[in-house]
Amino acid sequence: MSAAASAAALEALEADLLLEGVARHWGFDLRSHSRPQLLRRLRRHLREERLESFSALQARVLHDSEALEGLLRALSSTPTSLFADAAFFRDFRARVVPVLRTWPSVRVWHAGCGTGEDTYALAILLHEEGLWGRCRLYASDASEGLLADARTGVLPLPGEDDARRHAESGGRGSLSDYYTRDGNWALLQPKLRDGIFFTQHNLTIDGSFNEFHVILCRDTLLSFNRALHNRVHARLYESLARFGFLCLGRKESLARTPHAAAYEELEGSGHIFRRVT
């Protein structure tokens, strides 16, 4: 074996031991995460923490819950601006909102909300469409640290690009109506922030906690391997009411999931699916 190949094998072993330790000690099972993504993020985290090896990271993470939180944060990635994917919100307005108008009350679950940018964008959209009063919006993430950020309702101040994407999404009025400025930060209106139920929920181990009419789970399952991805889809299916909507990322597919036949894709939408059976 060449030196590089043996170093790679050792690194893979250390990564396995780190994940095993985190799963057994903290109950966070990262072993079923997408391997290439996990390795790359762990390496970047290592460089940022100025550690020499995954073994050194393991020692720190097992003894320090803050180090674990730092690791979970490094492994997550959510959009860092409001209406980051304007096309999705435009399709949601055009295809989902008209149906929601016909329902007396709507429960919405944003699974994997991270620091809340998409959650707040959705809240603004529902408010603009006059649906905020009849919607209950639940937002969940596995990481308490990210959730704590999301709960504050404080975001980097939206710039011109954000305002443009909001308009592209079909937004009426001005984005700035929904926050007050504090230096380089935006404080979202309490009427939005206080109407969202942020809750810690780990898609990989926790069961369904309600039945929903709309589930947003966009680009969150990219970090899971195929087996876990399919297990989580079974859970999302259980949590979605018949004729409810499942909104996935632009390049996520239901094709190989166990309940693919139970959904119809809304034509011309950016991967919005409707549960039909």
Partner 1 sequence: MSVGLLVVGAPRSAGADVETLLSMLPAHLPAPVVVVLHRGPHDVLAPPLGRRCALPVVEPDDKDDLVPGRVYLAPGGYHLLVDRGSVALSVEPPEHGCRPAIDALFESAADSYGAAAAGLLFAGHDDGQEGLGLLQARGGRVAVVRGESESGEGQEGEVERLSLADVGGWLTRLAYAARGRVQP
Q: What would the x/- binding string for partner 1 be over residues 194 to 223, using CB under 8 A?
A: -------------------------x-xxx
Q: What would the x/- binding string for partner 1 be over residues 55 to 94, using CB under 8 A?
A: ----------------------x-x---------------
184 binds partner 1 (CB under 8 A): no
Of the candidate residues 5, 52, 207, 268, the single one contacting partner 1 (CB under 8 A): 5
Q: Are 25 and 62 in contact (CB under 8 A)?
A: yes
267 binds partner 1 (CB under 8 A): no
Q: Are 246 and 272 in contact (CB under 8 A)?
A: yes
40 binds partner 1 (CB under 8 A): yes
Q: Are 126 and 194 in contact (CB under 8 A)?
A: no
* E strand segments, the chain: 106-111, 135-141, 154-156, 179-182, 185-188, 196-200, 212-216, 240-247, 263-265, 272-275
41 binds partner 1 (CB under 8 A): yes
Residue 57, Cβ density class (10 Å: 0-12 exposed, 13-18 middle, ≥19 buried): buried
Shortest approach of partner 1 to residue 242 CB, angstroms?
25
CA pair distance 237, 174, nearest whole angstrom: 36
Q: Tell me whether residue 36 or residue 104 sits nearer to partner 1 (CB atom).
A: 36
Q: In the chain, what is the straight-line distance between the N-terminal and C-terminal CA atoms, in Å?
A: 54
Residues of this chain that interact with partner 1 (CB under 8 A) are 1-2, 4-5, 8, 34-37, 39-41, 77, 79, 219, 221-223, 225-226, 229, 249-253, 255-256
